[in-house]
């Protein structure tokens, strides 16, 4: 493919993506395929002769799209958002076209220096303490990791190195193996699975501590855990506090945990993967109170801040601990400007790194602070609309405080009702929500995810949920609908005008469409 063909292919691909994103409501959010569906749709071997790019675009619809779960669909309400925007996509294109590997300053100065600048922009935007910024007088700074999972592991390994050195000075007779065998880390039983995995990868047991009635990790619980483990001869090393837990978007009490960590010389890592984007809005910043106690802080612009995956922002108070933990300085990696700018290979697990800051730069410039704040506030408002609809139906209960863009709810009564409701929703594939467990009860999580979500999409989801709840409570668990029951469900609706047929119609999509 030459430049002429690339221009044609590229323009056609952009048109394809624009059409795809603008018409997502016309596609079922979940695919209807079985494992192995793709094997019979493509050849078993690489083609001997080049294919035409036009044929490949056709195959996007024939082969790929039938097996895609549409994460940016307004009917996608599972997990947490994965961000997407046109500026972010263009940033990805430019990064791919330039194709540099910015593992050190000399391998692409712009790659390093734009990242330094963007991490300061972002840190100032959420009002992180000055000592976390690259522009501070101290050793702190920011780096873009691939995911919050990586950031948690990087923090753990740095904490491990710092603790081993500290204990070695107190007990010079102990070897490193002895010290490492005594280390233990802490998080809450509501923390993300990646936190537990970080402990596995870092060879440090991760003790999951119980939370209070609001799913928060409290200081007294941490203190009790530390005291118990010290009595056993263990060495507390690392604490992961979560701001916006995966299950219920709960916020650990940093103002209680922080002083304990500082006093006991434990590394405090703050995981704000989802909720951290909301801190660009002043009204949410009280939820990060106590962040000044942290040794490292992380959130994902690729979750809620319109920057395409992957872009996970991490700041540390003292980058030297990262350098000491990850530095492998072969002669072919050295350059004459070392020490004058960060070599980010020392701040991460892999060597190579992509030009991720380009898409962050694009999004921050083309949306501006006001545009990003508007996006966050709109999605929080849509979640509140869904909350209002739930509270208007006495068959449902909301099980946690509404937080950010997440609403956790269930059908009143035995768990079997909520499980059956979820099964029916998944079978129909009109919307996508996932289940969770809260205080030994089966619950459903409804998250506003798509940047294209509007009130009509909340109404569509609510009618689908309520209609299927009718079927569950009538005892119809076969997966098929009773038309009379559905008609009654829609006619009772207080959130929409009368529909002249038995089918719910929102944005031209009918409840019976696949």
Task: Give the pLDDT of residue 83.
Answer: 92
To the nearest 10°, the Cα dihedral for 398, 399, 401, 406?
-70
What mean pLDDT do residues 390-400 have?
94
Helix, strand, or coil (residue 87): helix
Contacts of 36 (CB under 8 A, 6+ apart): none
What percent of the chain clears pLDDT 70, i.e. is strictly above it?
A: 88
Residues 144 and 262 in one domain: yes
Whether pLDDT at 209 is above 80: yes
Alpha helices in 392-444 (DSSP H): 415-428
Q: How confident is the model at residue 328 (pLDDT cuts 50, 70, 90)?
A: low
For residues 343 and 322, the answer to whether their CB atoms sit within 8 Å is: no
Most confident stretch, 98-112, 342-356, 383-397: 383-397
Residue 393 lies in a domain: yes
Residues 282 and 391 in one domain: no
Domain span at 453: 380-510
Whether pLDDT at 509 is above 50: no
Residue 367 lies in a domain: no
Residue 371 lies in a domain: no
Other CB atoms within 10 Å distance of the CB of residue 303:
25
C-alpha span between 356 and 112 (Å, rounded): 10
Strands (E), 249-305: 267-271, 296-299
Other CB atoms within 10 Å distance of the CB of residue 449:
26
Contacts of 10 (CB under 8 A, 6+ apart): none
Whether pLDDT at 382 is above 90: yes
Residue 303 lies in a domain: yes
Q: Which of the listed residues 42, 60, 89 is the one where a domain comes to its end?
A: 89
Residues 386 and 348 in one domain: no
C-alpha span between 460 and 131 (Å, rounded): 46
What mean pLDDT do residues 466-486 have?
68
Residue 323 lies in a domain: yes
Whether pLDDT at 87 is above 60: yes
Residues 394 and 502 in one domain: yes
Write down how long the chain is. 514
Residue 447 lies in a domain: yes
Q: How confident is the model at residue 192 (pLDDT cuts 50, 70, 90)?
A: confident
Question: Residues 159-188: pLDDT tens digits?
Answer: 998 999 999 889 988 988 999 999 999 999
Kindly state the tokens that stand for 198.
């970080």
Task: Give the pLDDT of residue 495.
Answer: 38
Residues 389 and 275 in one domain: no
Whether pLDDT at 485 is above 60: no
Whether omega for the bond prior to residue 310 falls within 30 degrees of 0, making it cis, is yes
Q: Which of these, 467, 460, 499, lies nearest to 485 by C-alpha position?
A: 467
- 192-227: b (≥16 Cβ within 10 Å) or e: bebbbebbeebebebbbbebeeebbbbbebbeebbe
Query: Angle at CA 43, nearest 5°, toward 41 and 44?
Result: 120
Residues 19 and 64 in one domain: yes
What mean pLDDT do residues 119-126 have?
96
C-alpha span between 490 and 502 (Å, rounded): 8
- Averaged pLDDT score across all residues of the chain: 87
Q: Taking the CA atoms of 475, 477, 478 and 480 in sequence, report the sign of the dihedral they define.
A: positive
Residues 39 and 132 in one domain: no
How many domains are contained in the chain? 3
For residues 183 and 234, the answer to whether their CB atoms sit within 8 Å is: yes
Task: Give the pLDDT of residue 112.
Answer: 87
Other CB atoms within 10 Å distance of the CB of residue 404:
22
For residues 452 and 72, the answer to whether their CB atoms sit within 8 Å is: yes
Question: Residues 227-271: pLDDT tens digits?
Answer: 999 999 999 999 999 999 998 999 999 999 999 999 999 999 999
Residue 246 lies in a domain: yes
Q: How confident is the model at residue 486 (pLDDT cuts 50, 70, 90)?
A: very low
Residues 75 and 162 in one domain: no
Q: How confident is the model at residue 501 (pLDDT cuts 50, 70, 90)?
A: very low
Task: Give the pLDDT of residue 484.
Answer: 32
More reliable by pLDDT, 333 or 79? 79
Residues 173 and 117 in one domain: yes
Task: Give the pLDDT of residue 476.
Answer: 60
Kindly state the tokens that stand for 346.
């020392």
C-alpha span between 43 and 54 (Å, rounded): 17
Whether pLDDT at 16 is above 50: yes
Residue 470 sits in a domain of what CATH number?
A: 3.90.1150.10
Q: Which of the listed residues 338, 354, 370 is the one where a domain comes to its end?
A: 354
C-alpha span between 203 and 198 (Å, rounded): 8
What mean pLDDT do residues 468-493 have?
56
First CA to last CA distance, the chain: 38
Least confident piece of the model among 57-61, 329-333, 426-430, 469-473: 329-333
Burial class of residue 100, CB neighbours in 10 A (0-12, 13-18, 19+): middle
Residues 57 and 110 in one domain: no
C-alpha span between 498 and 495 (Å, rounded): 10
Q: How confident is the model at residue 362 (pLDDT cuts 50, 70, 90)?
A: very high
For residues 237 and 163, the answer to whether their CB atoms sit within 8 Å is: yes
Residues 326 and 403 in one domain: no
What mean pLDDT do residues 116-136 have?
93
Residue 266 sits in a domain of what CATH number?
A: 3.40.640.10
Task: Give the pLDDT of residue 282.
Answer: 96
Please provide residue 434's backbone torsions phi and psi, each rounded to the nearest 5 degrees.
-120, 160
Q: Which of these, 259, 146, 155, 265, lies nearest to 204 by C-alpha position?
A: 155
Give the CA count within 13 Å in the CB-facing half-sphere of 251: 23
Least confident piece of the model among 10-14, 82-86, 118-122, 196-200: 196-200
What mean pLDDT do residues 292-297 have?
96
Task: Give the pLDDT of residue 344.
Answer: 73
Task: Give the pLDDT of residue 176.
Answer: 86
Q: Which of the listed residues 89, 122, 150 is the one where a domain comes to its end?
A: 89
Whether pLDDT at 489 is above 60: no
Residues 316 and 461 in one domain: no
Residue 359 lies in a domain: no
Q: How confident is the model at residue 193 (pLDDT cuts 50, 70, 90)?
A: confident
Whether pLDDT at 498 is above 50: no
Strand-pair category, 509-510 with 183-188:
unpaired
């Amino acid at each position: 493919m030459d430049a002429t063909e690339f221009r044609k292919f590229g323009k056609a691909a952009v048109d394809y993506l624009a059409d795809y994103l603008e018409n997502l409501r016309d596609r079922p959010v979940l695919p209807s395929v079985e494992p192995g569906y793709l094997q019979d749709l493509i050849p078993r071997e690489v083609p001997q002769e080049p294919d035409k790019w036009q044929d490949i675009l056709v195959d996007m619809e024939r082969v790929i799209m039938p097996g895609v779960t549409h994460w940016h669909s307004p009917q996608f309400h599972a997990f947490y958002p994965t961000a997407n925007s046109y500026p972010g996509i263009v940033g990805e294109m430019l990064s791919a076209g330039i194709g540099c590997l910015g593992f050190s300053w000399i391998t692409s100065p712009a790659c390093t220096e734009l990242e330094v600048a963007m991490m300061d922009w972002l840190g100032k935007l959420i009002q992180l303490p000055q000592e976390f910024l690259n522009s501070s007088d101290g050793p702190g700074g920011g780096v873009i990791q691939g995911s919050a999972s990586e950031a948690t592991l990087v923090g753990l390994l740095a904490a491990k190195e710092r603790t081993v050195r500290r204990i070695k000075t107190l007990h010079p007779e102990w070897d490193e193996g002895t010290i490492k065998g005594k280390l233990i880390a802490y998080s809450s039983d509501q923390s993300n699975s990646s936190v537990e995995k970080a402990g596995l990868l870092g060879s440090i047991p991760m003790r999951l501590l119980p939370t209070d009635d609001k799913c928060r990790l409290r200081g007294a619980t941490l203190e009790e855990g530390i005291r118990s483990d010290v009595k056993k001869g263990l060495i507390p090393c690392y604490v992961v506090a979560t701001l916006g837990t995966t299950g219920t978007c709960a916020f650990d009490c940093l103002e209680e945990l922080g002083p304990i960590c500082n006093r006991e010389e434990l590394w405090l890592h703050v995981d704000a993967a989802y909720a951290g984007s909301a801190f660009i809005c002043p009204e949410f910043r009280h939820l990060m109170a106590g962040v000044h106690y942290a040794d490292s802080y992380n959130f994902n612009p690729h979750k809620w801040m319109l920057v395409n995956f992957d872009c996970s922002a991490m700041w540390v108070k003292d980058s030297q601990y990262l350098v000491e933990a990850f530095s492998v300085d072969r002669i072919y990696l050295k350059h004459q400007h070392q020490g004058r700018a960060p070599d980010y290979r020392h701040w991460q697990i892999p060597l190579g790194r992509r030009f991720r800051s380009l898409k962050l730069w694009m999004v921050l410039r083309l949306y501006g602070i006001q545009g990003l704040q508007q996006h966050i506030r709109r999605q929080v408002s849509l979640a509140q609309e869904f909350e209002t609809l739930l509270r208007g139906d006495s068959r449902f209960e909301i099980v946690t405080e509404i937080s950010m863009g997440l609403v956790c709810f269930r059908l009143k009564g035995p768990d079997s009702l909520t499980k059956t409701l979820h099964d029916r929703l998944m079978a129909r594939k009109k919307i996508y929500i996932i289940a969770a467990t809260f205080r030994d009860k089966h619950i459903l999580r409804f998250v506003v995810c798509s940047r294209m979500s509007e009130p009509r999409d909340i109404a569509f989801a609510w009618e689908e949920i309520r209609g299927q709840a009718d079927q569950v409570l009538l005892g119809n668990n076969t997966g098929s609908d009773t038309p009379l029951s559905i008609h009654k469900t829609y006619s009772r609706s207080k959130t929409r005008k009368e529909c002249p047929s038995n089918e719910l119609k929102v944005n031209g999509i009918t409840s019976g469409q696949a």
